[in-house]
């Protein structure tokens, strides 16, 4: 890609101490069938050799930036989307995986004339463990097609979980991103879902009913670290979403959602304890989630 040519897509990876997985993550981006992209990697002053591993890749599409000090999750995620050149943007955490046709299929959906007014394209995902083994081959809470914000938010509240997917699942227009306030960790567990809802204030969601990426459960992931705080934080987020009248959330939606949130939280906690990895390698919450 020539220096002056604007790529169609920016893939950006905010990373912090992801040495165990970052090479696999970067390789999954570089091996995409769709090639018109730039890859921005923002290292938040890692101490485990992550930066050196990322620097070992020789590809003209990569731009590697190292923060002079640790910004924390919210700061580094927002920095990661601050200087994109692509028309469309995808943020990938430093331990997740893109399947080879992910960008191709998501970009094609945006370029379809029928997708005018869509502000987020999301796909289903596979859940993998720290060794890359598939634990759940396909997670899908929404079927194929276009969805309005009210439909998505009401179902999210009723189900008590993130039905859109983690950051790796989404692709969004840079132009719409500019009309949001960016990533907010006011409710840390839902930093990604909060951003999705900001995007959906400006357009619809389109769901591709195919797993085009993998979300990793590991002891170096935020979801693993948040542990038993999940219920309280997701409940807080549900109540904030319900307070926005434009979402059309009813008292019954919220009542059902509180029950389902408790079940989802218990299931999630058990899953992370079983599959996230060795407890001896765990680190404090303050050092995680990038």
129 contacts 275 by C-beta, under 8 angstroms? yes
Helix pair angle (149-159, 230-243), 10° resolution: 150
**Both tokens assigned to 185:** 């960790």
pLDDT at 289 over 70: no
DSSP at 166: -
Quickly count helices (H) and strands (E) in the chain. 10, 10
| CA pair distance 159, 172, nearest whole angstrom | 24
pLDDT at 65 over 60: yes
pLDDT per residue as tens digits for the range 195-217: 999 999 999 999 999 999 999 98
| CA pair distance 236, 226, nearest whole angstrom | 14
| CA pair distance 64, 53, nearest whole angstrom | 11
**Both tokens assigned to 128:** 């993998």
53 contacts 124 by C-beta, under 8 angstroms? no
184 contacts 194 by C-beta, under 8 angstroms? yes
Which backbone phi and psi does 198 adopt, to 5 degrees?
-60, -45
Nearest to 103 by CA among 92, 117, 118: 92
CATH class of the domain whose range is 9-287: alpha beta
The reported pLDDT for the residue numbered 3 is 56
pLDDT at 286 over 50: no
pLDDT per residue as tens digits for the range 83-130: 999 999 999 999 999 999 999 999 999 999 999 999 999 999 999 998
pLDDT per residue as tens digits for the range 264-281: 888 776 665 666 654 333
pLDDT per residue as tens digits for the range 252-267: 999 999 999 999 888 7
The distance from CA 284 to its chain's CA centroid, rounded to whole angstroms, is 21
pTM: 0.89
Mean pLDDT of the chain: 90
| CA pair distance 111, 35, nearest whole angstrom | 16
The reported pLDDT for the residue numbered 271 is 61
DSSP at 81: T
pLDDT at 221 over 70: no
281 contacts 219 by C-beta, under 8 angstroms? yes
């Amino acid at each position: 890609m020539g220096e002056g040519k604007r790529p169609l897509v920016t893939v950006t990876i905010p990373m912090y101490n992801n040495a165990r997985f970052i090479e696999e993550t970067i390789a999954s981006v570089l091996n995409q069938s769709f090639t018109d992209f730039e890859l921005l990697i923002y290292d938040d002053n890692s101490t485990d050799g992550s930066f050196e591993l990322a620097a070992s890749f020789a590809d003209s599409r990569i731009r590697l930036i190292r923060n002079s000090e640790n910004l924390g999750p919210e700061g580094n995620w927002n920095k990661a989307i601050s200087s994109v050149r692509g028309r469309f943007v995808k943020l990938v955490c430093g331990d997740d995986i893109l399947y080879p046709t992910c960008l191709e299929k998501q970009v094609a959906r945006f370029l379809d004339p029928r997708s005018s007014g869509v502000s987020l394209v999301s796909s289903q995902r596979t859940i993998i463990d720290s060794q890359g083994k598939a634990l759940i081959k396909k997670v899908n809470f929404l079927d194929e097609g276009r969805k309005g914000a009210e439909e998505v938010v009401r179902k999210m509240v009723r189900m008590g979980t993130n039905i859109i997917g983690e950051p790796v699942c989404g692709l969004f227009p840079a132009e719409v991103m500019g009309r949001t306030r960016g990533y907010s960790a006011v409710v840390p567990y839902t930093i990604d879902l909060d951003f999705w809802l900001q995007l959906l204030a400006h357009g619809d969601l389109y769901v591709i009913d195919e797993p085009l990426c993998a979300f990793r459960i590991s002891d170096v992931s935020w979801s693993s670290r948040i542990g038993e705080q999940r219920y309280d934080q997701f409940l807080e987020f549900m109540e904030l979403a319900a307070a926005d009248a434009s979402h059309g959330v009813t008292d019954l939606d919220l009542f059902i959602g509180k029950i389902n949130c408790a079940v989802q939280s218990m299931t999630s906690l058990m899953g992370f304890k079983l599959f996230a990895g060795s407890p001896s390698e765990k680190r404090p919450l303050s050092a995680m989630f990038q």
